[in-house]
């Protein structure tokens, strides 16, 4: 099913996340998208931690990102996350990151897969999760 | 110009690179691709460090990755990197990562851009770099 | 001079910060202490980013940490930071990290040194910084 | 018992490990000491991965480090690790990191504790490990 649920959260670029170019290192954005996903799910009433405690995990299968302009040390980044589709075991997220001047830093897409931790097989998205999405 | 220069290097998955799923965290692969790029350039005779000392930097513009199977703690990963094209200021790399059992872990593509550090503008790939690629 | 200025801030343990033991990796706390330092300085009216823009940097010279109990994924950690002394070019911070149940996770000490970025020599702590500390 | 078993391994500073000061970020050394420990144990014939598969884990309890001079991007660092003592459940390591010019970068100490993963209680160091140490 197509979905269109968006949530914004923020994170501040840490000193450890800069590199000698003076930019936020390109590899650190994966962590920011993770924060975006987790806080978006929390805003729906779904704790990713609880999902794992209930033997469901959600590894990333596909990930792509376009870097539009650099983020710098101490920038407060706005991570705008949208759940765009849930089809069978797959869930698609898209992301836009902006700085405080509302300048676009990067855009990204991920595909994640619901996995049963006991069987290690893909499973349908939990009904409770789908219900929360539909009622929002 | 299309290029097809391939080089393999390796890295071992650190404890810090695992997550509580027991997998190598999806965001850490960006670092492995960086190692692949840098060692591929070094094998050609180009030190990325020297490039920056000569006021050229090479930030990542586009990055996409498909995760085929997990890597685990202490796995010795083979990073196979190919320079596939250089067009104007852009350089394309593709990557395949394998474990020691020759199992495919992930594939990826990146587009990087040669930037003049003084003007912060895109520039043509250095002629010396192109010459080294052509003579290999 | 001895100082006793304390400030608390918080950070949530990211998935990327866990390891396969299921703990927050011991090496990631250095980043949390950095967040503690920076937010403590900001609460005083000092932006570490501005310090660097004014050619002063503050690298870590000594760092020690005792791990009392593990932090876990998604824990909201309270970082309690105290500036304990400023002597010449040196500034000492102490830290305590607690989880939401007010359980002590770890304690730490750091010594940092004010460095003039142009000369790369140690310098006295900026008077403006000392004044802000004294008026608090 | 006091021990004095030393082993050297190396790692190259990644771009991701630099910060905007142009130094290797102080928090990344914890990973380098981890590499030192793991490769020192491997040189003795002990795989840390196998230890965990046999329900023994070895978290860090105490960690202190003195930074003598900065490491830079692309530096090939030599990590010299010494097992200095094993007393009951505790194992002490000391570390020195040098760059290729044999310049001392930092020194560190860690105390780790052998833990039974099933009971989560400290346990004596495995006899097999002690035997390997004694025969070396």
- A19 in contact with chain D, both atoms CB, cutoff 8 A: yes
CA distance A93 to chain B (A): 15
Q: Mark whether C75 is an active-site residue.
A: no
Contacts of A28 in chain D (CB under 8 A): 16
**pLDDT value at position C52?**
96
First to last CA, chain A: 14
Say whether pLDDT at D2 is over 90. Answer: no
**pLDDT value at position A136?**
81
pLDDT in tens, B76-132: 999 999 999 999 999 999 999 999 999 999 999 999 999 999 999 999 999 999 999
HSE at residue B5, side-chain half, CA atoms within 13 A, is 25
Say whether pLDDT at C81 is over 90. Answer: yes
Return the residue of A nearest to B27 by Cα.
Answer: A30
- The residue count of chain D comes to 136
d(CA C95, CA D78): 31
Residues of chain A where predicted confidence (pLDDT) is lower than 70:
none
| pTM recorded for the entire structure | 0.97
D71 and D105 Cβ atoms separated by less than 8 Å: yes
Domain with B129 in it: 2-134
**pLDDT value at position C1?**
81
CA distance B104 to chain A (A): 14
Structure tokens at A46: 């779904």
User: Do the domain assignments include residue D120?
Assistant: yes
Residue whose token pair is 């850490």: B28
CA dihedral A10, A11, A12, A14 (to 10 degrees): -170
pLDDT band at C109 (very low <50, low <70, confident <90, very high): very high
pLDDT in tens, D35-79: 999 999 999 999 999 999 999 999 999 999 999 999 999 999 999
- Spot the catalytic one: B19, B55, B75, B92: B19
Q: What's phi and psi for B2, nearest 5 deg?
A: -80, 145
pLDDT in tens, D120-136: 999 999 999 999 998 88
Q: Do C15 and B18 touch (CB under 8 A)?
A: no
CA distance A34 to chain C (A): 8
Q: In 10 A of CB D117, how many CB atoms? A: 15
**pLDDT value at position B2?**
86
pLDDT in tens, D6-37: 999 999 999 999 999 999 999 999 999 999 99
d(CA D136, CA D124): 20
d(CA D79, CA B22): 26
User: Do the domain assignments include residue C135?
Assistant: no
B114 and B58 Cβ atoms separated by less than 8 Å: yes
Residue whose token pair is 């929390």: A42
Structure tokens at A15: 């000193």
Indicate the number of domains in chain A: 1
First to last CA, chain B: 14
pLDDT in tens, D90-126: 999 999 999 999 999 999 999 999 999 999 999 999 9
Say whether pLDDT at B73 is over 90. Answer: yes
Q: In 10 A of CB A18, how many CB atoms? A: 23
d(CA C10, CA C96): 11
Question: pLDDT exceeding 70 applies to what percent of chain B?
Answer: 100
CA D70 to chain CA mean position, Å: 19
Helix axis angle for B29-44 and B127-134, nearest 10°, is 80
Say which CATH number the domain at D85 has: 3.10.129.10
Model ipTM value: 0.96
Burial (CB count within 10 angstroms: exposed 0-12, middle 13-18, buried 19+), residue D11: buried
Say whether pLDDT at C73 is over 90. Answer: yes
Average pLDDT over residues C43-66: 96
User: Do the domain assignments include residue D135?
Assistant: no
| Nearest one of C110, C101, C99 to C24, comparing CA atoms | C99
Burial (CB count within 10 angstroms: exposed 0-12, middle 13-18, buried 19+), residue C90: middle
Q: Name the DSSP letter for residue C51.
A: H
User: Do the domain assignments include residue D104?
Assistant: yes
DSSP assignment string, D62-112: EEEEEE-S---TT-EEEEEEEEEEEETTEEEEEEEEE-TT--EEEEEEEEE
CA dihedral B97, D38, C18, A28 (to 10 degrees): -50
**pLDDT value at position B136?**
81
- B70 in contact with chain C, both atoms CB, cutoff 8 A: no
User: Do the domain assignments include residue C14?
Assistant: yes
User: Do the domain assignments include residue D33?
Assistant: yes
- The residue count of chain B comes to 136
pLDDT in tens, B11-49: 999 999 999 999 999 999 999 999 999 999 999 999 999
Helix axis angle for C29-44 and C127-134, nearest 10°, is 80
β-bridge partners, D76: D12
Structure tokens at A49: 């931690």
User: Which one of B16, B49, B73 has the shortest CB-CB distance to D73?
Assistant: B49
Query: B118-121: long-range contacts at Cβ-Cβ below 8 A with a sequence spacing of 24 or more?
Result: B118/B55
Contacts of C29 in chain B (CB under 8 A): none
- Sign, CA dihedral B13-B16-B19-B20, equals positive
């Amino acid at each position: 099913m197509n979905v269109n649920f968006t949530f914004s959260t923020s994170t501040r670029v840490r000193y450890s996340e800069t590199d000698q170019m003076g930019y936020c290192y390109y590899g650190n954005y994966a962590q920011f998208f993770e924060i975006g996903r987790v806080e978006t799910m929390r805003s729906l009433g779904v704790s990713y931690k609880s999902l794992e405690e209930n033997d469901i995990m959600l590894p990333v299968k596909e990930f792509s990102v376009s870097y539009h302009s650099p983020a710098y040390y101490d920038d407060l980044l706005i991570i705008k996350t949208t759940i765009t589709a849930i089809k069978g075991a797959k869930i698609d997220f898209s992301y836009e990151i902006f700085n405080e001047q509302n300048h676009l830093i990067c855009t990204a897409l991920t595909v994640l897969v619901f996995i049963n931790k006991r069987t290690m097989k893909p499973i349908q998205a939990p009904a409770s999760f789908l219900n929360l999405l539909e009622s929002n």
